[in-house]
Chains A and B, each alone.
Chain A
Amino acid sequence: MIVLSSTWRDSKRHLFKFSQEMSRAGSRLDSKKVNSELFTLTYGALVAQLLKDYENIDDVNKQLERMGYNMGIRLIEDFLARTGSGRCYDFRDTAEKIQTGFKIFLGITPTITNWSTAGDEFSLCFESNPLTEFVELPDHCLNLKYCNILTGVLRGACEMVQMEVASWFVQDQLKNDSVTELRVKFIKRLEDAIPAGED
């Protein structure tokens, strides 16, 4: 794990808190912190590289989603191990847990809004987004979903707890919207994948 000091540029920037947020009584694992700017820049480098590698912006979006998926299927274990949270039997639980996840891994708390009447769709609104801190989209990248990795992370993480979800950006601060809005939709429970003793 990366542990960096906070001396990188002005110290007012908050640190990401990967683990110490959740009180794990007496755990001795080091609290792992990393400077948010380093993370922002690393992600920027990744997206910029993908834009070089793929001519087509749609391919970049797809690739980001795939990378996110692969992160999500691993990250979920970290989330479960740290929070000790149980299974969700309602999508509202899921929404809250996703919110907690953002708090743990990105240090931000998106607001949960715009519930659909069926209760199977909601939006996460980000006032600020560490991924886009220093970013402005050039004209030829208007189709780029810069934060598309997040949709992949959500899909991967939920799939591992036997839930199929879809998510997409409906508003984006990079495209001059006032907030960034990520819409999350519940598709189905993956009944076949539920482990014995859980069904």
Chain B
Amino acid sequence: MVIYGVYIVSKSGGLIFNHDHNIPRVETEKSFNYPLDVKLTYENKKVVVAFGQRDGINVGHALTAVNGNPVTGRELEDGRDVLEMLEQPENFPITLKFSRAKMTTNEKIFLASMFYPLFAIASQLSPEPRCSGIEVLEADTFRLYCYQTLTGVKFIIVADPVQPGMDILTKRVYELYADYALKNPFYSLEMPIRCELFETNLQTLLETIEKSGISNV
């Protein structure tokens, strides 16, 4: 059972806190001969696998290193273009390292502000008046729990679909927020939360839940 991450979205829809808790790191390194038998494309500033799934390298994984040298965007450190390099037979055999693409902070901010209108739409689409908006959003690999306080702050938790007690956890996180973010005199409302005490207490809470379940919190 796993909790993947915790997000806090402010009243005005901005991401003010995110914490990646337990995202399994998927990394595969493999040696290739010419011609390369996976199809790579360049999209979203990353070189990703478009087709040809094998040995733990899945479609959507991003290329992170070539012969141990890290790749940024589509370039190697010395400025050579990765895709061009992979077309030249003299560069082979070659070792490529793939991993699941990590979300950047910018992408997280973007997604958080995208969730905000979705939530509002859900409450408007409701056939009954006074709908709460999205409380749970379910997918095959995760479940997203959202708790909106009366003041409009949203606490979002992404967790494994079988992880129980997450609606209680959102309320516990709210308590931590009230204690360690809002009582910090140097924290100003609506701004990103950079409070170490909040972070450590949250970490402890999440670990306790994963180890011994929600009943011990």
* Residues of A participating in the B interface, judged by any CB pair closer than 8 Å: 1, 24, 26-29, 73-78, 80-82, 84, 86-87, 160-161, 193, 195-199
Contacts and interface: CB of A to CB of B under 8 A. Distances in A.
A157 to B, nearest CB: 10
B177 A76 contact: no
A75 B183 CA distance: 8
A86 B132 CA distance: 12
A188 B151 CA distance: 16
A29 B148 CA distance: 21
Given A26-B217, A27-B172, A81-B174, A1 B151 contact: no
28 contacts: A1-B179, A24-B175, A26-B215, A27-B172, A27-B175, A27-B217, A29-B179, A73-B189, A74-B183, A77-B149, A77-B151, A78-B183, A80-B150, A80-B174, A80-B178, A81-B175, A82-B178, A84-B171, A160-B150, A161-B150, A193-B152, A196-B119, A196-B120, A197-B131, A197-B133, A198-B130, A198-B150, A199-B130
A29 B175 contact: yes
Given A26-B217, A195-B11, A197-B123, A81 B150 contact: no
Given A195-B11, A196-B119, A196-B120, A80 B149 contact: yes
A161 B175 CA distance: 17
Interface size class of B (residues with CB under 8 A): 20 to 34
A87 B150 contact: yes
A73 B187 CA distance: 13
Interface in B186-200: 189
B177 A77 contact: yes
Closest 7 CB pairs of A and B: A197-B133, A195-B152, A196-B120, A197-B123, A78-B178, A74-B182, A77-B178
Interface of B: 11, 119-120, 122-124, 130-133, 148-153, 171-172, 174-175, 177-179, 182-183, 189, 208, 215-217
Query: Which of B150, B179, B183, B217 has the most chain A CB within a 10 Å cutoff?
Result: B150
Contacts of A198: 130, 148, 150, 152
Contact of B151 (A26, A76, A86): A76
Given A1-B179, A28-B208, A74-B182, 20 more contacts: A26-B215, A26-B216, A27-B175, A27-B217, A75-B182, A76-B151, A78-B183, A80-B174, A82-B175, A87-B150, A160-B150, A161-B150, A161-B151, A195-B11, A195-B148, A195-B152, A196-B119, A196-B124, A197-B122, A198-B150
Contacts of A161: 150-151
Contacts of B189: 73-74
Contacts of B124: 196
Nearest to B120: A196
Contacts of B182: 74-75, 77-78
Contacts of A74: 178, 182-183, 189
